[in-house]
């Protein structure tokens, strides 16, 4: 890369221009999140409805008509409704509409609010596009006297996606400048600080280009794009900073003067990649190993996050291993331009005496003098912080509360103020006979009795008259509680339990579907496979670290420490977002649960990211161990060399991830908080306390790896 730097930089310039042009196009192709689970009960209901009740579409939304003065029986109100419905029926993908004057209970008491039911066809991406076109067509019919807008799953997701995009831009506007400032302080020179930021942005552009190209065969949602940006920028800056820091160190060792200048620069680039470059490869592989474990979940949301974030990490590695060395070779000593005053700059080389006399060395030796006391205190703190996980509750907040200024938000507010809270997304009850065949007379009677029985539940407001097609029954149950509330989740579970009791002894098969049922199915899928995800992450990470560290103890110790750090971060996230501690400071109202997919996703990402600093630190310790064979010296020297860049890298990641706490969408706020907190815990408690304490306790066993027996002749 150094020898062919001009060609490499030229190719990258062309590629990044193309990717930059694709970035806005990617934003326009982002879809709402698909919470479905393959083969689940809610998915079966969707399939059966598409077969036997195609007129209702794959999704049922609501057009809300709201007037401050006119009532539904007035000519102007009716004229606007008719005009809106005609416009809506022309939108491709709209399967059917029931206007307010045809269906029961579609005009609110007082007559100033009415609703039309509209069905949408197609998959998630197609329904999102249809909902957008529908919203535009409806807005064009608005005369001012009567407001009309559509709400429902896809319209809400479209508007939440727009808010997430704004959140992402705001987080980038906060995180990247602050990260640049920290880099200047950490590296002591403006040019050296600009390089990691430029590399991270290049990696982000490459990831966006790759995601755009892949939209031809798959779809990405706004959460995936946000997480890819969050992780891509964080690891991109960190990885590049490690290489830049090592390059400057090697450059100062070799000296760059005279006719051998290019050779010396190339050698410095080579040594930087042979050390820090290997470290970022190991770290990136571990991150992707952890992410790939999510692919066992039979849910598009997990697979989308896996693919999107893995692309971001791969793009970061590609830039760090090709563009960055070419850029460093082109810059050479110019990497040190814009230097801070001497007293604010890090030492480019460390005097051998400083390996034992520096502040970090003295700290490491102080911890190693009392390893049990320091290690026990750190473990106690992490276990205490992890305790709230024992009471974790899962749910799914759709972010409707953030949509006050959006069309779907205004429509939702009018709908829930004048109709039952669950009108936004009713529960679907689908009944069939044996082998999904038609219902017999006796089974039909039993299904109708089931509907009568569940109608007495206080959590149910209305059960619309059941519809019959091909001998199957479909009923819409309108809950009295919000469709994304914990009460709605419990209602779905109870309805399924009662339906299972009815289906015993060759009775009718009753399935419960709808958005709330999808959330319940997603939670069950996650809970059932979370142990397998954890086992896969631990086993694969252990095998990889055995090779990377050439040790038995170090990988086991690293995994244990990462579990403690991840558990502490998730525990504190539960305390804040589930219990509501500090909600006024962070600007949110606790829902009483965490987003259902957050713990699994955060675990996989955090476990990979936490290994980043472990690999960087242990590899540097290994260099000194291989040279001296002195465990305590290796620990102190390794910590002295890496404490400043690790602290700086952690501070940058905390800033990048923490900037997402400013998001309006709750899930981004939760994810940003958990990741930022985990990195801080990992850098402070784990790397500075637990690592030296445990390294001292295990002594020479840290570096033990049984040698293979040689075959005798």
Confidence of residue 713 (pLDDT cuts 50, 70, 90): very low
- Residue 428 bridge partners (DSSP): 476, 513
- 525-576 pLDDT tens trace: 988 998 898 888 888 888 888 887 888 888 888 888 888 988 999 999 999 9
* pLDDT given for residue 257 in this prediction: 53
- 234-286 pLDDT tens trace: 889 989 988 998 898 888 876 555 556 778 888 899 999 998 888 888 888 88
Strands 94-98 and 394-395 turn out to be unpaired
Q: What is the mean pLDDT of residues 183-203?
A: 91
**CATH architecture under which domain 158-340+357-397+520-703 falls:** Up-down Bundle (1.20)
Token pair 């170090």 is at which residue? Answer: 554
491-495-501 Cα angle (round to 5): 150
Q: Which of 15-19, 542-546, 586-590 has the lowest mean pLDDT?
A: 542-546
Confidence of residue 356 (pLDDT cuts 50, 70, 90): low
Phi and psi angles of residue 68, each rounded to the nearest 5 degrees, phi first: -75, -20
Confidence of residue 485 (pLDDT cuts 50, 70, 90): confident
Rounded to whole angstroms, the Cα distance separating 282 from 555 reads: 13
Residue 350 has pLDDT above 60, yes or no: no
504-506-511 Cα angle (round to 5): 65
Residue 499 has pLDDT above 50, yes or no: yes
Q: Where in the chain is the domain with CATH 3.30.70.1130?
A: 426-513
* pLDDT given for residue 221 in this prediction: 86
What is the pTM assigned to this prediction? 0.85
Residue 665 has pLDDT above 80, yes or no: yes
- 595-649 pLDDT tens trace: 888 888 888 887 777 777 777 788 888 888 888 888 888 888 888 877 777 888 8
Highest mean pLDDT among 24-33, 133-142, 204-213: 204-213
Rounded to whole angstroms, the Cα distance separating 2 from 267 reads: 9
Residue 351 has pLDDT above 70, yes or no: no
Q: What is the mean pLDDT of residues 160-164?
A: 87
Confidence of residue 357 (pLDDT cuts 50, 70, 90): low
C-alpha closest to that of 519 among 573, 452, 572, 591? 591
Higher pLDDT, 191 or 599: 191
* pLDDT given for residue 711 in this prediction: 45
Q: What are the residue ranges of helices labelled H in 550-597?
A: 553-573, 583-586
Identify the CATH class of 41-151: alpha beta
Q: What is the mean pLDDT of residues 17-31?
A: 86
Q: Is the CA virtual torsion 85, 90, 91, 94 positive or negative?
A: positive
Supply the DSSP symbol for 351: -
Q: Where in the chain is the domain with CATH 3.30.70.100?
A: 41-151
C-alpha closest to that of 54 among 621, 472, 355? 472
Confidence of residue 43 (pLDDT cuts 50, 70, 90): very high
Averaged pLDDT score across all residues of the chain: 87
Residue 231 has pLDDT above 50, yes or no: yes
Q: What is the mean pLDDT of residues 179-199?
A: 91
Residue 320 has pLDDT above 90, yes or no: yes
Rounded to whole angstroms, the Cα distance separating 525 from 291 reads: 17
The two structure tokens encoding residue 101: 């004057």
The two structure tokens encoding residue 518: 């999808």
Within 10 A of 114 (CB to CB), how many other CB atoms are there? 26
Confidence of residue 35 (pLDDT cuts 50, 70, 90): confident
The two structure tokens encoding residue 63: 């057009």
Q: Which of 285-289, 525-529, 671-675, 694-698 has the lowest mean pLDDT?
A: 285-289
Superfamily covering domain 426-513: EIF_2_alpha (3.30.70.1130)
* pLDDT given for residue 110 in this prediction: 87
Rounded to whole angstroms, the Cα distance separating 166 from 423 reads: 29
Let me know: does 221 contact 36? Beta carbons within 8 Å: no
Q: Where in the chain is the domain with CATH 1.20.1640.10?
A: 158-340+357-397+520-703
Rounded to whole angstroms, the Cα distance separating 77 from 145 reads: 9
Residue 213 has pLDDT above 50, yes or no: yes
Higher pLDDT, 14 or 246: 14
Rounded to whole angstroms, the Cα distance separating 457 from 442 reads: 24
- 385-416 pLDDT tens trace: 999 999 988 888 888 878 888 999 999 999 98
* pLDDT given for residue 432 in this prediction: 94
* pLDDT given for residue 354 in this prediction: 56
Q: What is the mean pLDDT of residues 657-677?
A: 90
Let me know: does 407 contact 135? Beta carbons within 8 Å: yes
Residue 57 has pLDDT above 70, yes or no: yes
Rounded to whole angstroms, the Cα distance separating 66 from 68 reads: 7
* pLDDT given for residue 54 in this prediction: 87
């Amino acid at each position: 890369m150094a020898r062919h730097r001009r060609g490499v930089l030229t190719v990258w310039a062309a590629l990044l221009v193309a990717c930059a042009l694709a970035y806005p196009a990617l934003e326009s192709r982002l879809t709402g999140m698909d919470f479905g689970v393959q083969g689940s009960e809610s998915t079966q209901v969707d399939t059966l409805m598409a077969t036997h009740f195609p007129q209702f579409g794959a999704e049922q939304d609501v057009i809300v008509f709201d007037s401050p003065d006119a009532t539904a029986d007035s000519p102007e109100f009716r004229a606007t409704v008719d005009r809106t419905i005609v416009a809506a029926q022309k939108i491709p993908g709209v399967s059917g509409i029931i206007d307010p004057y045809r269906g029961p209970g579609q005009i609110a008491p007082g007559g100033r609010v009415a609703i039309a039911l509209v069905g949408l066809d197609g998959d998630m991406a197609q329904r999102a596009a249809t909902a957008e076109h529908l919203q535009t067509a409806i807005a064009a019919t608005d005369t001012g006297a009567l407001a009309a807008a559509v709400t429902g799953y896809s319209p809400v997701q479209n508007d939440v996606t727009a808010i997430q995009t704004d959140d992402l831009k705001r987080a980038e506007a906060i995180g990247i400048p602050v990260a640049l400032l920290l880099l200047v302080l950490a590296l002591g020179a403006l040019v050296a600080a600009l390089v990691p930021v430029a590399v991270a942005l290049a990696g982000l552009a490459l990831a966006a280009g790759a995601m755009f190209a892949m939209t031809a065969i798959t779809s990405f949602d706004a959460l995936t794009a946000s997480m890819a940006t969050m992780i891509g920028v964080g690891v991109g800056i960190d990885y590049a900073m490690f290489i830049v820091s090592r390059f400057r160190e090697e450059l100062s060792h070799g000296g760059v003067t005279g006719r051998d200048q290019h050779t010396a620069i190339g050698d410095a680039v080579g040594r930087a990649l042979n050390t820090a470059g290997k470290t970022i490869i190991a770290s990136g592989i571990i991150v992707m190993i952890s992410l790939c474990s999510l692919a066992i979940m039979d849910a598009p949301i997990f697979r989308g996050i896996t693919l999107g974030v893995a692309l971001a990490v791969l793009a970061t590695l590609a830039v760090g291993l090709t563009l960055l060395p070419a850029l460093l070779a082109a810059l050479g000593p110019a990497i040190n331009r814009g230097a801070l005053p001497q007293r604010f700059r890090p030492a480019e080389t460390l005097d051998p005496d400083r390996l034992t006399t520096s502040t970090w060395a003295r700290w490491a030796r102080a911890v190693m003098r009392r390893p049990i006391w320091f290690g026990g205190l750190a473990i106690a703190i992490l276990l205490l912080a992890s305790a709230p996980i024992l009471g974790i509750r899962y749910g799914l907040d759709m972010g409707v509360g953030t949509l006050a200024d959006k069309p779907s938000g205004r429509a939702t507010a009018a709908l829930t103020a004048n109709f039952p809270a669950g009108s936004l997304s009713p529960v679907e009850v689908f009944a069939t006979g044996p082998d999904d065949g038609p219902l017999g007379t006796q089974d039909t009677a039993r299904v109708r009795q089931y509907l009568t029985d569940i109608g007495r539940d206080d959590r149910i407001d209305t059960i619309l008259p059941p519809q019959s097609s091909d001998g199957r029954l479909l009923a819409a149950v309108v809950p009295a509680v919000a469709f994304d509330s914990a009460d709605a989740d419990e209602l779905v579970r109870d309805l399924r339990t009662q339906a299972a009791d009815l289906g015993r002894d060759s009775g009718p098969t009753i399935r419960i579907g709808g958005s709330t049922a999808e959330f319940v199915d997603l939670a069950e899928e996650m809970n059932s496979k979370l142990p397998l995800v954890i086992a896969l992450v631990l086993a694969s990470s252990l095998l990889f670290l055995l090779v990377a560290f050439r040790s038995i103890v170090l990988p086991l110790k690293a995994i244990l420490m990462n579990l403690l750090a991840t558990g502490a971060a998730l525990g504190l996230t539960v305390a804040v977002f589930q219990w509501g501690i500090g909600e006024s400071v962070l600007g949110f109202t606790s829902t009483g649960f965490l987003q259902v997919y957050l713990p699994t996703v955060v675990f996989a990402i955090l476990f990979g990211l936490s290994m980043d600093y472990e690999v960087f630190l242990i590899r540097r310790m290994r260099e000194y161990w291989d040279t001296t064979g002195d465990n305590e010296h290796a620990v102190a020297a390794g910590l002295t060399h890496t404490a400043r860049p690790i602290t700086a890298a952690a501070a940058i990641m905390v800033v990048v991830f923490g900037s997402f706490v400013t998001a309006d969408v709750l899930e981004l706020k939760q994810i940003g908080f958990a990741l930022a907190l985990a990195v801080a815990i990992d850098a402070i408690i784990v790397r500075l306390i637990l690592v030296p304490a445990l390294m001292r306790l295990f002594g020479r066993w840290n570096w033990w790896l049984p040698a293979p027996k040689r075959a005798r002749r």
